[in-house]
């Protein structure tokens, strides 16, 4: 028995030691990986100088750089690399199969190359950049046949699903932090004041950055408490007046949005059938109108939000929602106006299934529009920083006139900057199907935008006058990005399932629609697998799965409600114990005061004996009085 116990103890010791080594190895690996994070030092510097609110924007930007790079790796590995290895020669022939691309022949002026580089036409149209280059559905290797059409469709579904899972995972983490911080504001103050310091910090610069970070967080908490107190003190007349002002301003915002959408629709239709003297203006007319609308509307919304008297956090969210609706819906209006021309022909029915005469490869044309929006968005961001923000800083620094004082130093607008990258990412998600190299372009774009915004923030901007919390804003940023992803899925799904694919270009030349490749491949599988897949795609399975999902959701909701009730009961017990302790401390203090009075009276009386000191009797009387007072019940029931 003793030998067996020793063996068990040695086995337990080995298990514990192995766990410790594995934990140390995991911690070391996580530490090394965190040190390899992109822009780690720059983000810590920004956090110390401007707080966690602006830090959330740059962390959000880093997340999008990583996401776009992974999407590019997927597109390159499964779409471009097989064609590069196989070296396929594309041939054309038959009705609706001639791709009349815009590649220029002969001697070309250099400015034409600049126009092609900015518009995606000319020499760029027949490259790996656009959908029309991949005119093959299968690639035959020596021992295997690679179905490029199926791979193209699955990779498209894969990058959208990957983006969804990643965003939801990050949103869930932010949502938990948001719940913890918003549950008890007093606990948040205590954590920051008594447990917010990092005692591992040794450098002077790190100490200064940590102090500034804690100061910004405390300012945010105090500002939010001040806003809540102001809201609570409003009278009924003030509330009615405020709601009336908000109604008028919201109607004004709706009118502005409707006017912008109508202008985008007219500009898109006008640019498709009218040639300008300057080709670049003709190519970029929809992008110019969309960018102008996106530049004007946030300024109007930021101005009118000041009269609606919201809290800083809700002000950011509401402004973002208005601008998001404007920017993302403008993309939808652009695509709707394009597809209305793609699917309509001069005759009642299109011979090729789409408007082949004007758009021989309509997917490439849509990809060019997304490419132009991406390039033009980057040009506008850099131009505003160089030609607006830097001159404003110089004017304020070297000119002390009343105009410069009225302008004031530039404030880093988080809603506007977040909206810019959400808008660009939505374009990337939509355009990746039509322009497979667009994720690589967006990765490079966001990489340069990080440094442009960092330099502009440090050199030109000042911290926000109304600080806000990073946790709730970061969660809301991801929520807005999720809305952008949902909007991006709609045109991609419509183009895959509803609109006829081009017969002159792309991997789906032999299919009516892009989705037709799936049933074609399934029909070639063995009968058992084919039956299983058809069963999984049937209505009976979909209804059963939906019912089971609803039951699981109801169970989780009920479990969460039960946990919440238990937490509330425990919190009430803790509060009751705190009140009891406070009551006992008050009674002990009263007993101590009474004992002090009696001891002073006993000192005035003559001493009768030296052998029994007076403090013994005083101490015993104090204890008896304290016990008596502790057992006396207060006005409400207490527990001891």
Q: Are 414 and 472 in contact (CB under 8 A)?
A: no
All residues at 6 or more sequence positions from 350 whose CB lies less than 8 Å from its CB, including other chains: 343, 344, 356
Tokens of residue 612, six digits: 């029994």
pLDDT digits (tens, 9 = 90+) for 411-438: 787 777 888 888 889 999 999 999 999 9
CB–CB of 484/324 below 8 Å? yes
pLDDT for 162: 93
Q: Give 477's Cβ-side CA count (13 Å radius).
A: 30
Per-position DSSP letters for 543-557, written without gaps between them: HHHHHHHHHHHHHHH
Higher confidence at residue 328 or residue 440? 440
Q: Which of 305-319, 449-463, 544-558 has the lowest mean pLDDT?
A: 305-319
pLDDT at 622 (0 to 100): 43
Classify residue 399 by burial, with Cβ atoms within 10 Å: 0-12, 13-18, 19+. exposed
Model pLDDT, residue 163: 92
Does residue 288 register a pLDDT over 80?
Answer: no
Spatial neighbors of 636 by CB under 8 A, at least 6 apart, are none
Burial 323-335 (b: 16+ CB within 10 A, else e): bbebbbbbbbbbb
Summarised one tens digit per residue, pLDDT across range 167-206 is 888 877 666 655 555 555 556 667 677 776 766 666 676 6
Report the pLDDT value the prediction gives residue 269, as an integer from 0 to 100.
62
Q: How far apart are CA 304 and CA 510, in angstroms?
A: 54
Contact 439, 428 (CB under 8 A): yes
Q: Is the dihedral of CA 174, 175, 181, 182 positive or negative?
A: positive
Query: How many CB atoms neighbour CB 51 within 10 A?
Result: 24
CA 425 to chain centre: 10
> How far is 268 from 11, CA to CA, in rounded Å?
74
Distance CA 131, CA 580 (A): 73
Strand partners, 411: 462
CA–CA separation, 263 and 146 (whole Å): 45
pLDDT score for 601: 65
Calpha distance 460→393 (Å, rounded):
6
Other C-beta atoms lying within 10 Å of the C-beta of residue 464: 21
Across 40-54, 130-144, 499-513, least confident range: 40-54
pLDDT at 629 over 50: no
Confidence band of 101 (pLDDT split at 50, 70, 90): low
d(C-alpha 121, C-alpha 371), whole Å: 10
Q: Please give the pLDDT value at position 175.
A: 62
Integer Cα distance of 619 and 622 in angstroms = 5
Residues 6 or more apart whose Cβ sits within 8 Å of residue 317: 473, 476
Out of 201-215, 335-349, 476-490, 517-531, least confident range: 201-215
User: Element (H or E) spanning 90, and its range?
Assistant: none
Q: Which of residues 314 and 501 earns the better pLDDT score?
A: 501
Q: Is pLDDT larger for residue 111 or for residue 8?
A: 111
C-alpha span between 72 and 2 (Å, rounded): 62
Q: Is pLDDT larger for residue 424 or for residue 230?
A: 424
Higher pLDDT, 269 or 479: 479
Residue 613 has φ and ψ, to the nearest 5°, of: -65, 150
Buried b (16+ CB within 10 A) or exposed e, 142-156: eeeebbbbbbbbebb
Query: What is the reported pLDDT for 602?
Result: 67
DSSP category for residue 138: E
Q: Given pLDDT bands bounded at 50, 70 and 90, which one contains residue 638?
A: very low
- Tell me what pLDDT residue 69 has: 94
Cα separation, 278 vs 276, in Å, equals 5
Question: What is the reported pLDDT for 472?
Answer: 56
Strand pairing partners for 116? none
Q: Judging by beta carbons within 10 Å of its beta carbon (0-12, 13-18, 19+), is residue 489 exposed, middle or buried?
A: middle
What's the rounded Cα separation, in Å, for the pair 377 and 309?
31
Q: Please state, in angstroms and rounded to a whole number, the distance separating the CA atoms of residues 599 and 593.
A: 10
Per-residue model confidence as pLDDT tens digits over 567-598: 888 888 888 888 888 888 888 888 888 887 76
Arithmetic mean of pLDDT over the chain: 76
| Residue 552 CB neighbours (<10 A) | 10
User: Whole-prediction pTM value?
Assistant: 0.73
Lowest mean pLDDT among 193-197, 235-239, 462-466, 627-631: 627-631
Is residue 275's pLDDT more than 50?
no
The CA-to-CA distance between both ends of the chain, in Å, stands at 49
18-32 pLDDT, tens per residue?
A: 888 888 888 777 777
Q: Which of 28-42, 65-79, 189-203 has the lowest mean pLDDT?
A: 189-203
């Amino acid at each position: 028995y003793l030998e067996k116990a020793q063996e068990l103890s040695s086995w337990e010791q080995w298990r514990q030691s192995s766990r410790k080594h594995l934990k140390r190895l995991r911690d070391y690996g996580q530490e090394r990986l965190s040190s390899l994070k992109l822009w780690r030092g720059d983000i810590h510097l920004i956090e110390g100088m401007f707080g966690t609110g602006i830090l959330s924007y740059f962390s959000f930007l880093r997340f999008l750089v990583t996401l776009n790079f992974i999407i590019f790796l997927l597109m390159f590995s499964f779409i471009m690399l097989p064609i590069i290895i196989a070296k396929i020669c594309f041939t054309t022939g038959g009705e609706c199969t001639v791709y009349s691309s815009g590649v220029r022949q002969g001697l070309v002026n250099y400015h034409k190359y600049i126009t092609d580089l900015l518009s995606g036409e000319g020499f760029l149209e027949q490259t790996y950049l656009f959908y029309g280059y991949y005119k093959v559905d299968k690639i035959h290797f020596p021992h295997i046949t690679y179905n490029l059409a199926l791979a193209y469709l699955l990779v498209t579904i894969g990058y959208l699903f990957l983006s969804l899972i990643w965003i939801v995972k990050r949103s869930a983490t932010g949502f938990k932090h948001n719940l913890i911080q918003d549950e008890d504001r007093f606990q948040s103050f205590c954590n920051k004041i008594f447990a917010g310091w990092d005692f591992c910090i040794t450098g002077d610069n790190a100490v200064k950055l940590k102090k500034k970070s804690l100061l910004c967080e405390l300012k945010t908490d105090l500002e939010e408490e001040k806003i809540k107190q102001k809201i609570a003190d409003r009278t009924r007349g003030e509330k009615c007046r405020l709601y009336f002002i908000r109604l008028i301003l919201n109607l004004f915002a709706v009118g502005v949005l409707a006017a912008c959408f109508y202008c985008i629709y007219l500009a898109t239709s006008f640019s498709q059938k009218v040639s300008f003297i300057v080709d670049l203006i003709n190519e970029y007319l929809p992008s110019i109108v969309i960018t102008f609308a996106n530049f004007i509307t946030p300024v109007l919304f930021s101005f009118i939000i000041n009269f609606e008297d919201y809290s800083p956090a809700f002000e950011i969210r509401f402004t973002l929602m208005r601008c998001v609706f404007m920017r993302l819906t403008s993309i939808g209006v652009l695509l709707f106006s394009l597809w209305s021309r793609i699917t309509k022909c001069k005759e009642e029915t299109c011979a090729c299934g789409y408007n082949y005469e004007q758009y021989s490869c309509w997917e490439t044309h849509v990809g060019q529009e997304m490419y132009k929006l991406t390039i033009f968005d980057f040009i506008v961001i850099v131009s505003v920083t160089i030609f607006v923000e830097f001159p404003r800083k110089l004017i304020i620094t070297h000119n002390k006139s009343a105009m410069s004082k009225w302008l004031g130093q530039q404030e880093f607008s988080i809603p506007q900057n977040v909206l810019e990258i959400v808008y660009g990412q939505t374009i990337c998600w939509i355009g990746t199907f039509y322009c497979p190299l667009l994720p690589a372009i967006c990765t490079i774009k966001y990489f340069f935008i990080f440094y442009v915004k960092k330099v502009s923030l440090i050199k030109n901007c000042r911290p926000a006058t109304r600080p806000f919390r990073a946790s709730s804003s970061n969660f809301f940023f991801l929520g807005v990005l999720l809305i952008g992803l949902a909007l991006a899925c709609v045109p991609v799904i419509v183009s895959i399932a509803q609109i006829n694919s081009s017969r002159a270009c792309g991997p789906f030349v032999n299919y009516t629609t892009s989705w037709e490749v799936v049933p074609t491949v399934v029909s070639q599988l063995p009968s058992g697998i084919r039956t299983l897949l058809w069963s999984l795609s049937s209505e009976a399975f979909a209804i059963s799965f939906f019912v089971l999902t609803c039951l699981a959701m109801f169970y989780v909701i009920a479990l969460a409600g039960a946990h919440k009730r238990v937490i509330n009961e425990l919190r009430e017990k803790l509060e009751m114990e705190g009140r009891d302790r406070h009551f006992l401390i008050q009674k002990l203090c009263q007993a101590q005061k009474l004992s002090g009075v009696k001891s002073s009276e006993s000192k005035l009386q003559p001493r009768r004996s030296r052998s029994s000191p007076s403090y013994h009797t005083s101490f015993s009387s104090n204890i008896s009085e304290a016990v008596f007072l502790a057992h006396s019940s207060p006005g409400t029931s207490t527990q001891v």
